[in-house]
Amino acid sequence: MSSRTNISCLQEAKRVAIFGGTHGNEMSGITLVNMWIQNSAEIERNGLVIKPFISNPRAVEKCTRYIDTDLNRAFTPENLSAPDVEGLPYEVQRAKEMNRMFGPKGSSDAYDAIFDLHNTTSNMGSTLILESSTDLFNLQMVHYIKKAMAPHTCSVLLNEHPQLKYSTTRSVAKHPIGLEVGPQPQGVLRSNVFEFMRTILKHALDFIELFNSGVEFPPCTVDVFRVQERMDYPRDTNGNITAMVHPHLQDCDWEPLNRGDPMFLTFDGRTVLYEGANTVYPTFINEAAYYEKQQAFMTTCREILAANAIRKACK
């Protein structure tokens, strides 16, 4: 990357993958990717190699989140460098295969961009997930998508937290982007969620095509929600949940949670209040897939990120 008069010149994005079925019961991405595998005309763009791909076919076949372990946490250095021996968890085997196909992770040979399509049972609407606050290409892309989606809201979740960031399937790419659209129950396909996901992908691919054609994107700012903390349910000494998400918090993703606001409702009717010092913005509230991860919701803070103007680097 080079910079002249605050314009950052970036390498063009030639190879793009679209992952569906990283979790085998999140139906929008699975359906879209299978549709595009059969007929890719909708996602074709000039000068781009675009590969739609089912990440976890065994889980998709069984309509379950995963077989042995969560594929979206499996792309660790330890897993990717593990010897190819019998007995590896299925998703670790799959991570190694995908790293060979779309990586290697962290190398110049890796795919330029990977979009990983997910559904959530939480009331998050359309959410773009970033893994870096300094990836100018992705910041400009999400800014373009948010403008194109208006008046519909498209939130941006930034996860750089050293303890809460995980090794995602998309992390193989130079520019990884997660797309989370809900609410949608597991194993169910809702038309409105399907169409939002489809439209966001259209705008994302349009952006890449424009960038590759030489269009310069001016400086911009992006409102993001930065991951802060994972909040668990209240539990007894045996680890059993003793409370539910409070009705005043349920379905209020991205809305402010202030000190003293209701957070949980115990099974015997007692309200547990939020006692944090600062206002936070919860998300993934009461996500069905996160009960096993001991997470009731995730707290975030709001930030504004600035991005330089970008254009394709001259050859």
Name the nearest CA neighbour of 138 among 108, 101, 175. Answer: 175
Supply 193's token pair. Answer: 């969620």
The answer to whether the annotation marks 131 as part of a ligand binding site is no
Name the nearest CA neighbour of 80 among 108, 102, 66, 99. Answer: 99
- State yes or no: is 180 an active-site residue: yes
**Strand-pair partners of 49:** 15
The number of beta carbons lying within 10 Å of the beta carbon of residue 26 is 29
The answer to whether the annotation marks 25 as part of a ligand binding site is no
Q: Hey, CA dihedral for 128, 133, 139, 143, is it positive or negative? A: positive
The answer to whether the annotation marks 180 as part of a ligand binding site is yes
What is the pLDDT, as a whole number, of residue 86?
86
Cβ distance 128 to 159 under 8 Å? no
Is the pTM above the cut of 0.75?
Answer: yes
- Cα 252 to its chain centre, rounded Å, is 19
Supply 95's token pair. Answer: 């991570």
- The verdict on whether omega for the bond into residue 151 sits within 30 degrees of 0, i.e. cis, is yes
The answer to whether the annotation marks 79 as part of a ligand binding site is no
For residue 22, give Cα distances in angstroms to 66, 140, 152, 222.
Answer: 8, 25, 26, 27
The number of beta carbons lying within 10 Å of the beta carbon of residue 225 is 23
The answer to whether the annotation marks 152 as part of a ligand binding site is no
Please list the pLDDT of the chain residue by residue as tens digits (315 residues).
444 458 999 999 999 999 999 999 999 999 999 999 999 999 999 999 999 999 999 999 999 999 999 999 999 999 999 898 888 999 999 999 999 999 999 999 999 999 999 999 999 999 999 999 999 999 999 999 999 999 999 999 999 987 778 899 999 999 999 999 999 999 999 999 999 999 999 999 999 999 999 999 999 999 999 999 999 999 999 999 999 999 999 999 999 999 999 999 999 999 999 999 999 999 999 999 999 999 999 999 999 999 999 999 876
What is the pLDDT, as a whole number, of residue 315?
64
What is the pLDDT, as a whole number, of residue 254?
98
Which fold would CATH assign to domain 7-224+306-312?
Answer: Aminopeptidase (3.40.630)
What is the pLDDT, as a whole number, of residue 4?
47
Residue ranges of the domains in the chain? 7-224+306-312, 230-299
Strand 271-273: give its sheet, edge to edge: 243-245, 262-266, 271-273
Q: Structurally, what CATH architecture does the domain formed by 230-299 represent?
A: Single Sheet (2.20)
Q: How far apart are CA 209 and CA 45, in angstroms?
A: 6
The answer to whether the annotation marks 302 as part of a ligand binding site is no
Residue 278, amino acid = N
What is the pLDDT, as a whole number, of residue 137?
98
First to last CA, the chain: 12
Supply 264's token pair. Answer: 């949980």
What is the pLDDT, as a whole number, of residue 2?
43
**Which one of the listed residues 91, 131, 180, 287 is annotated catalytic?**
180
Q: How far apart are CA 107 and CA 82, in angstroms?
A: 18
What is the pLDDT, as a whole number, of residue 5?
59
What is the pLDDT, as a whole number, of residue 252?
98
What is the pLDDT, as a whole number, of residue 298?
97
